[in-house]
């Protein structure tokens, strides 16, 4: 197994070179396209040169367009956002968007062909690792040092660790823009009708759940409400599990070693809490069948007044609930505090995707130049759209023209491919969707308690062999334990089976990585 080493301090902490300048006019004209033929050799002052003084090159890029539509007369190679990148990087860029359905399979075909592009975007960590091991991707350290000051500034150290093998950086990651997804929301009008305060501890949550199930919170005289609603495969429970200080499937440190939280005694306690709710008929009795559509429908129709919402559900099921019932008042809750004073929710991994350069590309410098602009100076336009066309500023706040936003939605393929971490533009975007939805407040609440995975490496070989089966087994055991088909002590049997069926092998590989990266 290869040694996965962290990025050197010199790479991450060296003084940043002055970033390339742009004309500053948001220009949208095509650049010309002479091709640089020779492998580039960086000069000492290259990072300080304006785009027009850098060598003009042609590069070919493979991105996942996600099936997004272009306005009439435009396509992936003929649109003003790509022109914007071309002009500000002095590059002629040709885009290729394979079909979104089967995108990863298309990447394998491309890698096996004799006509390789200069840049490929993949969201699959296993794909990335596989081609690094084959020697099919080239290191980018030299070019990031020379042409990537904004990349170094906007991508955190833990993310660089994930794409560094034997000291070499083999991908430029695109970051997740949100720290996590789940936050508790409650019907305040139901609390008020029953004389209850917003719950804070797990036991207070249990009492609210009981009251919502048994005390007619909607006042219609019928037994037609649930105390709490979950989804299939024991989903939408992150804040409850977080009250025990862990999250499902995540690796956490115990005694100097990483262990999988799904196998810890704390998980058994969380399942016992949920099983008690089910046994008391306080849960939606059909929760194990709830897919996303009917889960949201039950919220919107007034069947449930407490659930683990996604941060954007204030624009979804919660908004529909309020439209259906003008008296419905939803508020966010503090994350439940568990028996040992802990609270938390599921934290997202840092990386959403990988920008890689095939080993035969002769233009890695040009790729880094492009990505540095897209991640830095150009990101605001790629995320929000062109100012005074898609959005304007009114009273210090961004106001989006949603018709234009939808017309220009194809730009998001470019923006999401190289997101910076924690960008202020993301906050502006959320606010532009409507301050009444409290999207940034939701994100801030999640970020304050998000529990992140301690394992930052790519999937290990044993994960590739066993993880899918282990996840299926976990879903089956946990579902049966919560609904009472298995006793809570069946959790101990699950742990033994998990270890025997590949979990121990995965754990050994994870800890080999951990020993090298502490």
Q: Distance between CA 435 and CA 451 in Å, rounded?
A: 27
Q: What is the pLDDT of residue 18?
A: 31
Encode pLDDT of 317-337 as tens digits: 999 999 999 999 999 999 999
DSSP E strands: which ranges in 255-305? Answer: 257-260
**232, pLDDT greater than 80:** yes
Which of 296, 333, 345, 343 shows the shortest CA–CA distance to 180?
345
Which of the four pLDDT bands, split at 50, 70 and 90, describes residue 49?
low
The separation between the first and the last C-alpha atoms of the chain, rounded to the nearest angstrom, is 18
Q: Distance between CA 250 and CA 236 in Å, rounded?
A: 16
Centre a 10 Å sphere on the Cβ of residue 325 and count the other Cβ atoms it contains: 15
Quick one: angle between helices 292-300 and 317-324, nearest 10?
30
Q: What is the DSSP string of 142-164?
A: HHHHHH-HHHHHHS-HHHHHHTE
Encode pLDDT of 303-316 as tens digits: 999 999 999 999 99
Bridging pattern class, strands 391-394 and 397-400? antiparallel
Which of the four pLDDT bands, split at 50, 70 and 90, describes residue 52?
low
Q: What is the pLDDT of residue 48?
A: 45
Looking at residues 461-477, what average pLDDT do you find? 96
- How many residues does this entry show for the chain? 518
Q: Name which residue leads in pLDDT, 54 or 366.
A: 366
Q: What is the pLDDT of residue 37?
A: 36
**Pair 121, 355: CB distance under 8 Å:** yes
Q: What is the DSSP string of 182-232?
A: EEEEEEHHHHHHHT-PPP-BHHHHHHHHHHHHHS-TT-SSSS--BSB--BT
Encode pLDDT of 345-364 as tens digits: 999 999 999 999 999 999 99
Q: What is the pLDDT of residue 240?
A: 98
Looking at residues 219-243, what average pLDDT do you find? 96
Share of the chain above pLDDT 90, in %: 83
**518, pLDDT greater than 90:** no
Share of the chain above pLDDT 70, in %: 90
Q: Name which residue leads in pLDDT, 37 or 95.
A: 95
**53, pLDDT greater than 80:** no
pTM: 0.83
Q: Distance between CA 141 and CA 194 in Å, rounded?
A: 61
Which of the four pLDDT bands, split at 50, 70 and 90, describes residue 428?
very high
Q: Distance between CA 512 and CA 460 in Å, rounded?
A: 10
Residue 13: what are its φ and ψ, rounded to 5°?
A: -115, 0
Which of 35, 37, 34, 33 shows the shortest CA–CA distance to 362?
37
Alpha-carbon distance values, 191 to 212, 215, 227, 382 (Å): 8, 11, 12, 43
Q: Which residue has the tokens 């429970």?
A: 237
Q: What is the pLDDT of residue 433?
A: 87
Q: What is the pLDDT of residue 13?
A: 32
Encode pLDDT of 98-156 as tens digits: 999 999 999 999 999 989 999 999 999 999 999 999 999 999 999 999 999 999 999 99
* Run of H or E residues at 491: helix 490-498
Bridging pattern class, strands 119-122 and 351-356? antiparallel
**4, pLDDT greater than 90:** no
Phi-psi region at 354: left, alpha or beta (left = phi > 0; alpha = psi -120 to 50): beta
Encode pLDDT of 5-47 as tens digits: 333 333 333 333 333 333 333 333 333 333 333 344 443 334 4
């Amino acid at each position: 197994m290869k040694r996965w080493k962290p990025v050197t301090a010199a790479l991450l902490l060296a003084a940043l070179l002055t970033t390339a300048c742009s004309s500053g006019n948001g220009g949208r004209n095509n650049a010309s396209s002479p091709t640089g033929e020779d492998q580039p050799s960086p000069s000492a002052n290259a990072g300080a040169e304006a785009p027009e003084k850098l060598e003009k090159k042609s590069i070919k890029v493979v991105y996942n367009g996600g099936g997004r539509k272009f306005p009439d007369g435009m396509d992936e190679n003929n649109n003003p956002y790509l022109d914007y990148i071309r002009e500000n990087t002095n590059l002629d860029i040709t885009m290729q968007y394979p079909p979104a359905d089967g995108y990863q399979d298309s990447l394998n075909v491309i890698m096996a062909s004799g006509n390789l592009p200069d840049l490929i975007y993949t969201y699959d960590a296993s794909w990335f690792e596989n081609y690094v091991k084959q020697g099919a991707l080239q290191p980018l350290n030299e070019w990031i040092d020379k042409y990537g000051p904004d990349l170094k500034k906007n991508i955190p150290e833990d993310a660089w660790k994930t794409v560094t093998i034997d000291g070499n950086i083999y991908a430029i990651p695109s970051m997740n823009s949100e720290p996590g997804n789940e936050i508790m929301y409650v019907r305040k009008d139901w609390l008020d009708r029953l004389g209850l305060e917003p719950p804070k501890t797990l036991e207070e949550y249990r009492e609210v759940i009981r009251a919502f199930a048994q005390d007619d919170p909607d006042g219609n005289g019928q037994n037609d409400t649930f105390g709490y609603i979950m989804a299939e495969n024991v989903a939408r429970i992150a804040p409850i599990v977080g009250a025990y200080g862990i999250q499902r499937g995540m690796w956490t440190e115990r005694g100097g070693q990483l262990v999988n939280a799904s196998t810890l005694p704390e998980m058994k306690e969380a399942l016992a809490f949920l099983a008690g709710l089910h046994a008391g008929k306080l849960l939606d009795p059909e929760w194990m069948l709830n897919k996303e559509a009917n889960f949201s429908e039950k919220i919107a129709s007034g069947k449930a007044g407490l659930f683990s919402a996604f941060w954007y559900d204030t624009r979804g099921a919660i908004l529909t609930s309020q439209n259906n019932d003008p008296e419905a008042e939803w508020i966010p809750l503090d994350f439940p505090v568990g028996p040992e004073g802990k609270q938390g929710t599921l934290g997202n991994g840092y990386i959403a995707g990988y920008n890689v350069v095939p080993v035969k590309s002769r233009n890695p410098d040009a790729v880094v130049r492009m990505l540095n602009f897209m991640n830095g100076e150009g990101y605001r336009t790629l995320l929000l759209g062109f100012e005074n066309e898609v959005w304007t500023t009114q009273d210090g706040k961004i106001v989006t023209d949603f018709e234009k936003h939808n017309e220009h939605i194809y730009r998001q393929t470019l923006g999401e491919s190289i997101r910076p971490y924690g960008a202020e533009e993301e906050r502006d975007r959320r606010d532009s969707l409507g301050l009444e939805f409290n999207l940034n407040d939701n994100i801030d609440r999640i970020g304050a308690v998000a529990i992140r995975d301690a394992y930052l490496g790519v999937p290990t070989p044993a994960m590739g062999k066993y993880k899918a089966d282990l996840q299926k087994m976990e879903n089956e055991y946990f579902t049966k334990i919560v609904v009472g088909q298995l006793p809570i002590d069946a959790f101990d049997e699950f742990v033994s089976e998990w270890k025997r069926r590949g979990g121990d092998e995965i754990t050994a590989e994870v800890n080999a990585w951990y020993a090298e990266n502490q």
